[in-house]
Amino acid sequence: MQLLSDYVASLATDLRAWRRDFHQYAESGWLEFRTAAKVAEILDELGYELAIGREVVEAQSRMGLPDDNTLAQAYERARLQGAPERWLPAFKGGFTGVVATLKTGRPGPTQAFRVDMDALDLNEQLDDSHRPFRDGFASCNAGMMHACGHDGHTAIGLGLAHVLKRFADNLSGTLKLIFQPAEEGTRGARAMVAAGILDDVDYFTAVHIGTGVSAGTVVCGADNFMATSKFDVRFSGVAAHAGGKPEDGRNALLAAAQAAIALHSIAPHSAGASRVNVGVMQAGTGRNVVPSSALLKVETRGESEVINQYVFDQAQHVIAGAAAMYGASADVRLMGAATASSPSPVWVSFLREQAALVPGVKQAIDRVAAPAGSEDATLMMARVQEHHGLASYMVFGTELSAGHHNEQFDFDEQVLGIAVETLARIALCCPQTGTK
């Protein structure tokens, strides 16, 4: 294990360089063309068996996909920003997933580790108070920023790939490294699950850094993610002259406004926490026109799948009622989804034992009490557990310059090595029998 620690320490410069490169060329969900191509290039050079693009992303299960023009522009931008040409075609059209497999040739379980690659739709702070700008690696892509640590997650995945190859003679079974697109908005995991990449997995571990967990603390069984449904609602009415013939109109804006107010009045569920939020309302073309269309962007959440489904179902009744009041119609389109997290206790215990042995880890704990939003790796966890495997979600604490999804977000890069060494220990010390 000292050899492991020394080798991880030797990767510190590479970990930092990878993280900063991905940060500088931030790409949001389904547009991670450069990121995925860079990841594929490095993994291929290491000798991994790769499955990419449509092999690991099921087309019809993608949610919240950008329009064709946005996809094409981002693809060309990635090419101009140095994406390895060899890999780009496989990702075209928003199929930006990568799965690397290491088959040891020795009997044993199949382990999988998942990291995400996408940035947020956010403009980064561009002044000397912000280290990425000050040190020259702030995002050069307008409206896109790694403000949640996924640049670090991708670097951790690549660091783990190097360690597993270096210590391959000490491994058994099969190792899978999953690089997931479009986690923000909980859009990407469902399509990878549908592609079947988890169906043979015995042990699954997802990774995040930060989330308010202090430096030196590792959470080994995060169970505080809420089930969620994210959806767009398009109201369609009838335009009319607002002064001359208002009675001929069907006001879609008023239908949307009525729905927005009523959605926030849905009664809470007695069995646990619930959430609903209307984050966007767009409508209207002019002050003298009865609006014929309106858009709401909405999300529901619940402490459990049952609670979220309750809020979602109530929301559909509210939307239908608001549309009927104004003689409009409403079309609902699902844009993202995740379930609640339910880590496997036996696997959590094993992760805690391994994390406690890593230099730099002050405490390894099972869970934290505070809610932590939603995360679509929960869909991967659920699929592994459905197939009788064990799964969990780990959070590596680190100091942050600002909260997640903030234009001044940054983190202490020392957490990268701690995460890589912890995950490597898990792989090396994993039980030698599968769960199936």
- Among the four given CATH numbers 3.40.630.10, 3.20.20.140, 3.90.550.40, 3.60.15.10, the one describing domain 2-225+341-429: 3.40.630.10
The stretch 370-388 carries a mean pLDDT of 91
Token pair in block for residue 109? 């379980």
Residue 194: pLDDT over 80: yes
**Biggest CA-to-CA distance, the chain:** 82
Q: How far apart are CA 210 and CA 205, in angstroms?
A: 16
CATH hierarchy code of domain 228-337:
3.30.70.360
User: Model confidence over 401-421: pLDDT tens digits?
Assistant: 999 999 999 999 999 999 999
Pairing relation of β-strands 174-180 and 110-116? parallel
Mean pLDDT of the chain: 96
> Is pLDDT at 371 greater than 70 in this prediction?
no
pLDDT at position 373 is 87
For the chain, what percent of residues have pLDDT higher than 90? 97
pLDDT for residue 324: 98
Q: What's the pLDDT score for residue 213?
A: 95
| pLDDT value at 29 more than 90 | yes
Task: Give the pLDDT confidence score for residue 1 in this predicted structure.
Answer: 79
Q: What is the pLDDT of residues 255-310, one digit of tens each?
A: 999 999 999 999 999 999 999 999 999 999 999 999 999 999 999 999 999 999 99
For residue 126, CA distances in Å to 22, 80, 134, 318, 408 come to 17, 23, 8, 42, 9
- pTM confidence score: 0.95
From CA 242, how far away is CA 249, in angstroms rounded?
A: 8
DSSP string for residues in 229-287: EEEEEEEE-B-EETTT-GGG-B-HHHHHHHHHHHHTTPPPPTTS-EEEEEEEEEE-S-T
At 130, list the tokens: 């912000």
* 300-336 pLDDT tens trace: 999 999 999 999 999 999 999 999 999 999 999 999 9
pLDDT average, residue stretch 63-77: 97
Beta bridge partners of 394: 207
Instruction: For residue 293, give the amino acid letter.
Output: S
- Whether 364 contacts 421, CB under 8 Å: no
Instruction: Read off the DSSP letter of residue 360.
Output: T
Band (372; pLDDT cuts 50, 70, 90): low
- Give the relative orientation of helices 2-10 and 150-166 as an angle to the nearest 10 degrees: 130
pLDDT at 250 over 90: yes
Domain locations along the chain: 2-225+341-429, 228-337
18-34: average pLDDT = 98
**Is residue 429's pLDDT more than 90?**
yes
Mean pLDDT of 92-112: 97
d(CA 141, CA 272): 40
237 token code pair: 């009415």
- The mean pLDDT of 384-390, rounded to a whole number, is 97
pLDDT of residue 433: 81
Predicted local confidence at residue 341, as pLDDT: 87
Q: Per the structure block, which two tokens stand in for 29?
A: 């969900």
